[in-house]
Structures are given as structure tokens and as C-alpha cells.
Structure 1
Amino acid sequence: MVRPARAAAARFGIRVGVLAGALAIGAGLLTACGDDTSSTTEVTMLTHDSFELPQDVLDAFTKETGLTLKIVKSGDAGQLASTISLTPGSPKADVVFGIDNTFASRPIEAGALEPYEAPAAADGAAEYAIPDSNHELTAVDRGDVCLNVDDNWYSSRNLKAPTSLRDLRDPTYAAQAALMDPGTSSPGMAFLLTTVGVFGDDWENYWRQVSAGGAAIVAGWEIAYNQLFSAGEGKGPKPIVLSYASSPAATPGTSALLDSCFRQVEYVGILRGARNEDGARKVVDFMLGQTVQRALPSSMYVYPVQKKTPLPDGWAQRAPVPQWTVSLPPAYIAQNREAWLRQWRDAVGR
């Protein structure tokens, strides 16, 4: 999901910002589940770099539970999944948020997560449960990873903008695109899966053409959107970027190519071996509550998963849900991910 620093740019890869009083900075805090005293009064959540919720939402958690929620950021969703998968039973936090359906199987298979069936999941989140899992991850939000275009850039130059992901086979458009490495970026992985779903056995040739045409391929969303994208914060040189279908709601003058979308769901889960497991369960419950669910569209430009959650005025028009998206079963992704990544690296010369 993307938002202009992600909060003004929109992604289920959308969100930037400092959470005053909540963001723990420094490597020392990665062991923040710390001493016995803090383990009962604080709960630490590991998340990706794009996480953002308003301070009053975080304050509401303290009012409801009496616990302080500390946020520790750890790269993109792909890096996040790898980090917790390497430390099963010895986590660096109590709970994790931001693992998506493209990487969900990795920490589940590693035994890094503790099952928990949140009562509120029955109100919507349960519909996005990982198939054949045991409630290790609970859905929080959903969105659609799509190519975004800076329409103002093209109109100001009297140039024709691309209308499909297929247009990136043209070197002119390929050279104008900022894409992401699927090995380190969840939007990047989502777009790789899109090409697998759309082009079938020809997906590698698509990437060969896009790479040879000069597309920039970077580690994550923040670099692509906020540094390279011409409509992003950095006003970069690339008028095409991989982001979310909801990103244009935060960045006027842009649009999403709705034939290039992959449905992405983000999850929260309790880390096995958490010092404050009770607090972690309260975080899961809180993420499904209306305080967080109502805040998701305007703060992280994603759709809430809980039914009957009201959306901001005009949201459906500014952030339309694609009528068609690529969808692959998590088990199928897990079985083929490493092979697809090897093939992708060969195709783009990495």
C-alpha cells in the first residue's frame, strides 16, 4: 500500500513519517522487549519503513490497554519477513505488522509466529486469512499494487502516456519507469507476480525487454516513489512508477494503470517467544478495531478489511478498486518464489 511519504502517496509499499514518542530509533532498541519491567508495560511492534498511523491513534492504544506501543522499523516487507524468519523463538519484538500475502508463507513455515484467532476477525479480516494456516497472521488492510503514471508530466510535454503494463516493452516507456527488486520489495514481488499471471511463459521475455529498455530497478518503494518518480516528493526524472491503485488519491495529476494490478493484503502477527505475548494479542485486537481501521485510508492509503468501516468522502472515486487483479495462492507463490526470483535475476542481468 503507498502514501506520499507514504502519507500523501498511497501503498500496500505507501507511508513515511516520524511517530513522535512512539518510534524507537537505534539498533539497541531492536531488543526492545528488554527487561522484565518493560515487558509488562510496553509492547514492541516490528514493521516496515512505510508504516504510519497518527499519534492520536497510538495514544488510543495506551488509553485502552495501559500499554505503551513502541514501533521499530525494519526495511521493506520482504526484508521484514526475512528478519523474523531468521529468529524464530528469539524475536526482536512482540508483534509484527506489514508482512503481506506475497511473503506470508516464509515466516509461517519458519515457525516464527504464534497462532492467535482474534475475535474481531469474524467481522471481515477472516475473509483474507492465509489458506491452510493456523491463524498465525491476521489481515489488517488490503490494496492493489499497480503501475502509476504522472499524467501532468506527459501533458506538459504533449506526449502520450502509457495505458498498459504492456507498453513498457517499448524502450521509450521502459526508460521512464522506476520499478522495484522483488527480492527486497513487496510491491516489487507483487509486480513480478503480476507479470507471471499476465504473460504466462513469456514473463521472462517481458522483463528482458523492460530491463534492456532502461527501466530503473531499485530496492524499495520509498526510493522509487519519493526519489525517482516525477510526481513524488523528490520530483525525480521518472514519470512511471510502481505503486498502488490508491496512490493517485494522494497525488493529484497521476493515475494507475488498472491492468497491472496485484491484490496485496497486509497482516499482523504475534512473534513466537514474545516477552509480552498478552500485549501482542491486544495489538492484534487493536489493529482490527475501528480506531485503526478508520485511520487506514487517510494515513496509509489502503482499504480496511473490517466490514462496515466508513471510508473518507470521495475515497471510492479517488482510489477506485480495480475490477480485475492478478491473484495467486500463497502456497503456489511459496513453491515457486525462489525459482521465479532466479529467473528474474537472469532476465534483468542481476
Structure 2
Amino acid sequence: MRKISVFFVILFSFTVGVFATKVLTVYTYSSFIAGVGKQVAPVFEKLYDCKINFVSIDSGSLVARLILERSHPEADVVVGLSQSQLPQVFKENLLEGYKPTDIASVVNTSFLIDPQYRAIPFDYGALAIDYNLKTVKNPPQTFEALLDPQYAHSLVIEDPRTSTTGLDFLLWTIGLYGNNWQTYWRKLTPTIKTVTGGWDSAFQMIEDGEARMMVSFATDEAYNYYYYKGSDIGVTIPNGEAYVMVEYAGIVRGTKEYDLSKDFINFMLSKDFQMAIPLNQWMYPVTDVPLPDVFIDHAPKITKTVSVSIDQISTSLSKWIAEWSSIIIK
């Protein structure tokens, strides 16, 4: 009886192992999960007979989590890294290189910043200043105009230490002002109402009428028109020079689901995934898929951009954040 019992235990264990559903663990931020993730996950799961386990982590904390788990990685794929986080990601050797089969479909080749293909772009958007149409009658058209006393205690910004949006806003000013960016931030201090930990809480403040302006994205007007047929929120891009934020995904080094992770990275550049981005992420796809009418009619056209090189970020980011903290965090 014991031999038979052992035989059946082994047989049962083997059978369960053979037919167990594969699980892909993806670290990303909450709005990705609730938006495009919710739309595309069932498609991927059906295609590859698997389950996706999304784990919500603030975008500004993704790298720290990967470093913490480096010796025993829990994630297979990370989604939502910005170009400002990549120097640390590369330095810490956190991602596996993989060149997607459809990498040539990425329209803007400047987004392909890693020759080892450890970070793959999947969407992008331009930063902007959102403002309340009822309380801001003359929105600032330049960064210098933001210093005007009429905007005192009006602007909500995100903390660059915890938010990629906040970090990219800091980089926007560095791209514009160069070595004089600290002087600008000292002058900007009276305009700042508060510093939030992330984009979600800042957007909630402007939606609730608690703030007149916030750092956000150029597609917010399109978002509000799509859902509310118009709203009390307008968008302005100071100086007419946008800072473009690119979001990346990558395969976590040490994953036990490497092949499935490659499938997911390929899937992110597929037509199904890319077409789901605009109305779920409110960002732009990186491949040449049609844009919805609301983007064409209600999102500002970006003709001029400002940037900070990945080499500059790699060399100076820690110093910049420390200097920013000394100016803003009292």
C-alpha cells in the first residue's frame, strides 16, 4: 500500500507540474494596471496560456524594489521605467538584454537608447502645466511667467525623489536653464503650493479644486474632453518647449520565466497593445498606429522639445536631487 501511495503521490505531483499554469509577475504602477493592463492582460493570457500577476509599485520606487530583491528576484518584467531612471538600472545591472522581434516598428529611434536592449520603449508623452480654467484666467506661457506673484502658492509639484513625473519636471528645468537651474528653483519657491509624493495625489488636488495648477501631461485636456466632454482643466506648455517622458519595460535579471518575459516584451510592441495605449495610458504609442480623434483634436501639437542626455543624468542626477532637496525641502 505504501508503495502504491508513494507512486500515486509522485504521479499526482508530476501531473500538477505538467499542467500548472505559468505565471508572469509584472512590477508596474497602479494606473497602468487599472488602464492598459486591464485591457491587454486577457489577450496575452489567452495567447500564451498563462496568468499575469501585476504588482503595484509607485513608479519612483520601482528601481529601489528591484535592487532590494536583486539576489532573489520576485518580478519577471518591470514596466514603467522612465529614461531618468535608466542610468541607475544599467549601473546596477538589473535587467536582461533582449531585442524584440518588432523593434524596427519603433518610429522614433532616439528612444532606443540602449544598444543591449535592456530597456524597451512602449509609450511616451510630454510634460505640461495643468491649470484650473475658473481660477487661472491667464495661464503662464513661459517658465519666467510662473514666477509672477499672481501665481503665488498655486503650483502643485511632484517630489523627484519618489515620482518620475517630479523627476522629469526637474530635468525639464535643467534642460532649459542649464547650470542656472538652482537659481530658477529658488525663485519658483513662492509659486509652489505643496509637494506631493506622486502624480495621483497631485491630480486629485486639481480635480477637487484644491490647487490652481500642477505638473502633469499635455494629453490631460484630451482626457477630460473624452470622459467629460470638457472640464475645468486647461493645459499649457511653458516656453513652447516640451520635455518628453519615455516609458520603458524590461526583463528582470534572474527571472525564472525568461521565455514568457520575452513574449510579453514582444507583445508590448504589437498592434493590439500599442492601440490600447492612447485611451488607457493617455500617452502616445511608440509604433505607427492610428491615434484616436480626441488626441488629434484636443492634445497640443509638440513641435519643440528640450532634453537632458542620458550621460548627464548618469553623472549628475544624485547631485541634482540633493541640491533640489536643499532648496525646496525645509
**Which amino acid in the other structure matches residue 311 of structure 1?**
L
Shift of residue 333 of structure 1? 1.0
Q: 1:125 to 1:38 in 2, by over 3 A?
A: farther
Q: How many Å separate the matches in 2 of 1:39 and 1:255?
A: 50
Moved more, 236-245 or 85-94: 85-94
Question: Partner letter of residue 119 of structure 2?
Answer: L
Equivalent AA in structure 1 for residue 326 of structure 2: D
Q: Report what 2:310 is aligned to.
A: 330
Question: Over residues 178-205 of structure 1, what are the superposed CA-to-partner deviations in whole Å (9 max), with x where a residue is unaligned?
Answer: 1011111111111101111112232112
CA-based RMSD: 2.2
1:126 Cα offset (Å): 7.2
Query: 1:29 maps to what in 2?
Result: none
Matched, 1:60 2:43: yes
Equivalent residue, structure 2, for 1:24: none
Q: Which range is displaced more, 294-303 or 52-61?
A: 52-61
Q: Which residue of 1 aligns with 2:9?
A: none
Tell me, what secondary structure is at the counterpart of 1:249? helix
Identify the residue that residue 27 of structure 2 maps to in structure 1.
46
Q: Residue 245 of structure 1 contacts residue 319 of structure 1 at CA under 8 Å; is this kept in 2?
A: yes
For the residues of structure 2 that align with 1:36 and 1:99, how far apart are their CA atoms?
34
Change (3 A) 1:40 1:320: same
Deviation at 1:210, TM superposition (A): 2.0
Unaligned 5+ runs, structure 2? 1-15, 225-229
Counterpart of 1:147 in 2: which secondary structure? strand
Given candidates 208, 211, 215, the residue that maps to 1:238 is 211
Superposition deviation, residue 275 in structure 1: 1.6
Matches within 5 A, 1:166-245: 166-226=144-204, 228-229=205-206, 232=207, 235-245=208-218
User: Aligned to 1:98, which of 77, 80, 90?
Assistant: 80
Question: Match for 1:284: what amino acid?
Answer: I
Q: Secondary structure at the match of 2:306?
A: coil
2:270 equivalent to 1:289: yes
Q: 297-306 vs 259-268, which deviates more?
A: 259-268
CA distance in 2, matches of 1:83, 1:321: 36
Amino acid across the alignment from 1:152? K
Among 97, 113, 121, which residue is 1:131 paired with? 113
SS in 1 for 2:251: strand
TM-score where L is the length of structure 2: 0.86
Residue 66 of structure 2 is aligned with which of 69, 80, 84?
A: 84
2:250 aligned residue (269, 272, 284): 269
Whole-Å separation in 1 of the counterparts to 2:17 and 2:281: 33
Letter in 1 for 2:274: Q
Listed one character per residue, the Cα deviations across residues 102-122 of structure 1 (whole Å, up to 9, x for unaligned) are 111111210110000001111
Q: Tell me: CA distance 1:126–1:318, structure 2 relative to 1, closer, same or farther (3 Å).
A: closer
Mapped pair 1:250 → 2:209: no
Q: Deviations over 1:206-243 (max 9, x none)?
A: 211222344311111001012x11xx2xx132121110
> How far apart are the structure 1 equivalents of 2:21 and 2:118?
22
1:117 — aligned with what?
A: 99
Match of 1:345 in 2: 325
The counterpart of 2:138, out of the listed 144, 156, 160, is: 160
Aligned residues: 305
The letter of the residue matching 2:80 is G
Report runs of 4+ in structure 1 exceeding 4 Å deviation: 35-40
Alignment of 1:320 with 2:300, yes or no, is yes
Q: Structure 1 residue 258: deviation in Å?
A: 1.8
Secondary structure of 1:53 counterpart: helix
**Aligned partners of 2:139 and 2:236 also within 8 Å:** no
| Distance in 1 separating the partners of 2:312 and 2:114 | 12
Higher Rg of the two aligned structures:
2
| Contact map agreement 2:275 2:285 (CA 8 A) in 1 | yes
Percentage identity across paired residues of the two chains: 27
| Aligned residue in 2 for 1:69 | 52
How far the C-alpha of 1:340 sits from its partner, in A, is 0.6
Q: Which has the higher helix share?
A: 2
- 1:56, 1:198 → 2: CA distance? 37
